[in-house]
Amino acid sequence: MDAHCHLADHKLDEGLEVWLKEASALGITYFIQGGVGPEDWNIQLEISRKYPGRIFPCFGVHPWFVAKNPRESCLAAFEELKTKIKDSVGVGELGLDFSKKIAESSYDLQRELFKMQLRFAREKNLPLVLHIVHAHSEALAILREIGVPEAGGIVHSFSGDASQAKHYTGLGLSLSLGGSVLSRLEKLKQIMVATSLDQIVVETDAPDQTPQDPVVSPQGERPAINPPLTLIRVAEEVSKIKGVDFTNVLEQSKCNLIKIFGLSI
Ligand SMILES: [Zn+2]
């Protein structure tokens, strides 16, 4: 089970079937989505109906959507989210992205949408799919202030350090590790030591975040679409550090996700 990907992304308009076939050949059957905005939610629904029981939609107003759209559109998206939430397994992506490519002028609106969605998820006790980049201290402060839904959630493509990992897991959240960890294995080691496997899940974030990895990107040529193979590579690296078989990592990740998102499969 892939803890996080974007199969509704337009980059996969043509190649989704092939991508899913590749995944099946590797034994990857289930995919939890990350939500971006209203258009993306509708495509998620369409493809989840096309591949029933395999693709789990998840709706949220992504920090990138917030950064690109005026306040009225963001608030309208949040209203729409409330009416469509019955078709979603959780709330997200929600969070903060303070990386260089995101306009600083969007930070306040990002905070507003993050808090709104977090309160809503608490109210409904829906699990979170958090997108936090270069904003871990502030995100943790907001999570502490408003609280985390009992259902928990995942910090997708976790990019923080060992101490931040401890704070997130202490709040009942799980860390979702993706291709980016393959290029920063030293940091990953400390995080792995501090985190038990029942709070770790693995993701591709496909079609984005193709890792710089000798298996996924031989000769340094990164495929334009992040392949399902990334999930296996991430699980392999986690398994080496944890001293278990990589299939155990994948199995435990799947169990964790079934529990967090209340999936019936
Ligand atoms: Zn994502």
**What would the mean pLDDT of 173-195 be, rounded to a whole number?**
86
- Location of structure tokens 């709706």: 59
Residue 212: band (very low, low, confident or very high) from pLDDT cuts 50, 70, 90? confident
Query: Residue 264 pLDDT more than 80?
Result: yes
pLDDT average, residue stretch 166-171: 97
Separation of CA 64 and ligand 1 centre (Å): 10
Backbone dihedral region for residue 93 (phi beyond 0: left; psi -120 to 50: alpha; all else: beta): beta
C-alpha of residue 93 to centroid of ligand 1, in Å: 7
CA 205 – ligand 1 centroid, Å: 5
Ligand 1 centroid to residue 150 C-alpha, Å: 22
The alpha carbon of 201 and the centre of ligand 1 are apart by a number of angstroms equal to 14
Give the Å distance between the CA of 5 and the centre of ligand 1. 6
Retrieve residue 66's tokens: 């917030």
- Read off the pLDDT of each residue in 242-256 and give the average, rounded to a whole number: 96
pTM of the full structure = 0.96
Q: Rounded to the nearest whole angstrom, what is the distance from the C-alpha of residue 99 to the centroid of ligand 1? A: 15
Per-residue pLDDT at 42: 98
Calculate mean pLDDT across residues 243-251.
95
- Mean pLDDT value across residues 158-185: 91
- Which protein residues have a CB closer than 5 Å to ligand 1 (ion)? 34
CA of 220 relative to ligand 1 center, distance in Å: 23
CATH number reported for the structural domain that contains residue 243 in this entry? 3.20.20.140
Q: State residue 220's pLDDT score.
A: 79
Structural domain of 77: 2-261
CA–centroid distance, 209 to ligand 1, in Å, is: 9
pLDDT of the residue at 218: 84
End-to-end CA distance of the chain: 11
Q: Is the pLDDT of residue 18 over 80?
A: yes
Is pLDDT of 162 > 80? yes
Is the pLDDT confidence value at 184 over 80? no
Determine the distance separating the centroid of ligand 1 and the alpha carbon of 58, expressed in angstroms. Answer: 11
Average pLDDT over residues 23-48: 98
User: Among the residues of 125-228, which ranges form H helices?
Assistant: 136-146, 162-170, 185-194
- Per residue in 52-64, pLDDT tens? 999 999 999 999 9
Q: Which pLDDT does position 217 carry in this prediction?
A: 85
Q: How far apart are the C-alpha atoms of 242 and 77, rounded to whole Å?
A: 41
Query: What is residue 88's predicted lDDT score, i.e. its pLDDT?
Result: 98
User: What average pLDDT does this structure show over 95-122?
Assistant: 97
The confidence score (pLDDT) of residue 123 equals 98
How distant is the alpha carbon of residue 173 from its chain centre? 12
Give the per-residue pLDDT at 51: 95
Rounded mean pLDDT of the chain? 95
How confident is the model over 71-97, as a mean pLDDT?
Answer: 98
- Beta-carbon count within 10 A of 14 CB: 10
Least confident of 90-104, 127-141, 178-192, 217-231: 178-192
Please tell me the distance between residue 130's alpha carbon and the centre of ligand 1 in angstroms.
9
C-alpha 35 to ligand 1 mean position (Å)? 7
Please count the structural domains in the chain.
1
What per-residue confidence (pLDDT) applies to 68? 97
User: Could you tell me the distance, in angstroms and rounded to a whole number, from the CA of residue 241 to the centre of ligand 1?
Assistant: 25
